[in-house]
Structure 1
Amino acid sequence: MQPKIIITCAVTGNLTTPQQYPALPVTPEEIADACLEAADAGAAIAHIHVRNPENGEPSMKLDYYREVVERIRAKNNALILNLTTGPGGRYQPSEHDPAIAGPRTTLMRPEKRVEHIVALKPDISTLDLNTMTFGREVVINTPGNVTIMADIIHSAGVKPEIEVFDTGDIQLAQDLLKSGVLKSPPMFSIVTGIKYGLPSTPDAMSVAARMLPRDAVWTGFGVGRMSFPMAVQSYLLGGHVRVGLEDNIYIAKGVPTKGNGELVERARDLIEKLGAQIAEPSEAREMLNLAA
């Protein structure tokens, strides 16, 4: 197990809706404040999506990302920022012709999905390797598109966080590492609890963790009611921890959380009671080989 545990907080995400959780951070100011709240509670990394402030819908608009980053950095230069590149890979076959995209399709060129990474140069950028059924649509991340995104992310001086949703994603990552598309030592995030991906079980997370490269630094997490059980499981298997409103809106069964800070506090309490120490952002930077 790691001597120090990095807590990541995913503060708003792509799928949680304001209808499910009315206090969900939506505006750039709310998202930035949520990241700062998570940092105060013990998170070393903030994982950031942005939304359209008018309707709460997911967005990839560069101006929203820029405002969030600037608001955080005006108050906290230590917190590690991890910007998503996940949106832009979803495809919905239309009912009359599956070769034609339906209205829920977000599929876009890989260069477009990373333009905010080039412009803002965060510490970390997610890089999803999953091609899978995801809700009512499919997510498409072909090796060619992933390669384009990885090259751009590395060229910007940003570290990819390789998100894997099933064992095939890990095999793809291994091939990309062997070919030099991805650089070592890698950073992985094992996602569990998405239907048709890895289930939120100790066995599934254990298998995925054993498949990772030996020099990988990794975080495992679960969605919904398995958020805290999988946080503990990740720690026990030698990984780090992620919580946040992207993954779970409850602090206990049937009890909505007060917010991201409370979720981080609960994760911190659980891990510290098991004997671990929580990494400060400066310590996390060293563990992840990030620039100070």
Structure 2
Amino acid sequence: MKKAIITAAITGGAHTPSMSPYLPVTPEEIAEQAIEAVEAGAAIVHLHARNPEDGRPTGSPEVFREFVGRIKRETDAIVNISTGGGGPGMPINERAAAGIDLQPEMCSLNMGSINLNLSEMAKKNREWKYGWEVEHLEATKDLVFRNTYADIEWILKTIGGAGTRFEFECYDVSHLYTLKYFLDQGLVKPPLFIQTIFGLRGAIGSHIEDVLHQKRTADRLFGDQYHWSVLGAGKDQIPLSTISAILGGNVRVGLEDSLYIGRSELAVSNAAQVRKIREILEGLGIEIATPTEAREILALKGKDNTAF
């Protein structure tokens, strides 16, 4: 089997501070958890930013700069800046601002619009720390997470023009066909890094047949031009990551995608999730790719060719 690339998605924009005391919010917390995740075996750190005062998601390049420089100095990790930004309601120019400003080796790119419904998380009985949290979650019930063809093309040209490559986030089968369109148009070039996402409300489910259907479709559309990775949301994180690796794919874990490490057991850090999936993969005889190896596999421009 080829080596598996582990991505750690450190904080995201969906979970809110009241859901877990271990969710990193401040730049210092994000940097520390990212560094620990790399030390545990992650080659890529997928990063969002948050307002350090109240944990609200933000796309501010200034906030990103407070932690990406430290991660770059203290690790050899591939820094992956989200263009999903602060959540479904944020305008595309704000969501992509950090990617434009920082010119990282990699950015995430959502490959289609979805009805991403996070409102069920607002119903859980908990003590909410901040007034924005429930409103933020409930608003997604009547909100489209917009990623039009024009939005995607703009990001590809604006951010990709600086040599940044992409983690193509595909929440449904149609998103693979959208990616194929942009490949045929010459706006993306192989090798493609395709992150298929399962188990979010409003996107494809998390049944094994859903996973296999996505992989069969990607194989048919892209052949040997892509590297496959799997993101399982919530309770599906570790099971689907394991299945992906057995099938020759790469994996993504992290507190952005799941706050837990076991049934009703909160993960105390991103590194804890990385260590868990690494132990599983190594137990299966699968070697873990280093950041240097991941750069070569994904044909990235190198950490010294960024703007931070």
Q: Structures share a fold, TM > 0.5? A: yes
Alpha-carbon contact 1:81-1:123 (below 8 Å) kept: yes
Q: Per the alignment, in what secondary structure is the counterpart of residue 30 of structure 1?
A: helix
Amino acid at match of 1:16: H
Q: Which of residues 279, 294, 301 is equivalent to 1:284? A: 294
State the match for 1:114 in structure 2.
Answer: 96
User: TM-score, normalised to structure 1's length?
Assistant: 0.90
Q: 1:140 to 1:88 in 2, by over 3 A?
A: farther
Amino acid at match of 2:5: I
* Equivalent pairs, count: 274
1:150 aligns with 2:156: yes
Alpha-carbon contact 1:5-1:241 (below 8 Å) kept: yes
Q: Which of residues 199, 205, 213 is equivalent to 1:199? A: 205
Alpha-carbon contact 1:218-1:239 (below 8 Å) kept: yes
Q: 1:58 to 1:111 in 2, by over 3 A?
A: closer
Q: Per the alignment, in what secondary structure is the counterpart of residue 74 of structure 2?
A: coil
Q: Which of residues 223, 236, 241 is equivalent to 1:226? A: 236
1:190 aligns with 2:196: yes
1:49 aligns with 2:48: yes
Amino acid at match of 1:12: T
Give the whole-Å Cα distance in 2 for the aligned partners of 1:286 and 1:257.
31
Give the whole-Å Cα distance in 2 for the aligned partners of 1:34 and 1:201.
30
**Aligned counterparts, 1:242-253, within 5 A:** 242-253=252-263
Q: Which of residues 147, 153, 165 is equivalent to 2:171? A: 165
Give the whole-Å Cα distance in 2 for the aligned partners of 1:187 and 1:193.
20
State the match for 1:95 in structure 2.
Answer: none
Residue 22 of structure 1: how far off its partner (Å)? 1.4
Residue 88 of structure 1: how far off its partner (Å)? 6.2
Give the whole-Å Cα distance in 2 for the aligned partners of 1:144 and 1:254.
41
Residue 111 of structure 1: how far off its partner (Å)? 4.0
Identity of aligned residues (%): 35
Q: What 5-or-longer segments of structure 1 have no aligned partner?
A: 91-104
Residue 89 of structure 1: how far off its partner (Å)? 6.9
Give the whole-Å Cα distance in 1 for the aligned partners of 2:113 and 2:280.
33
Q: Per the alignment, in what secondary structure is the counterpart of residue 85 of structure 2?
A: coil
Amino acid at match of 1:273: G
More strand by share: 1
Q: What 5-or-longer segments of structure 2 have no aligned partner?
A: 118-140, 303-308
User: TM-score, normalised to structure 2's length?
Assistant: 0.86
RMSD of equivalent CA atoms = 1.3
Q: Per the alignment, in what secondary structure is the counterpart of residue 169 of structure 2?
A: strand
Alpha-carbon contact 1:114-1:152 (below 8 Å) kept: no
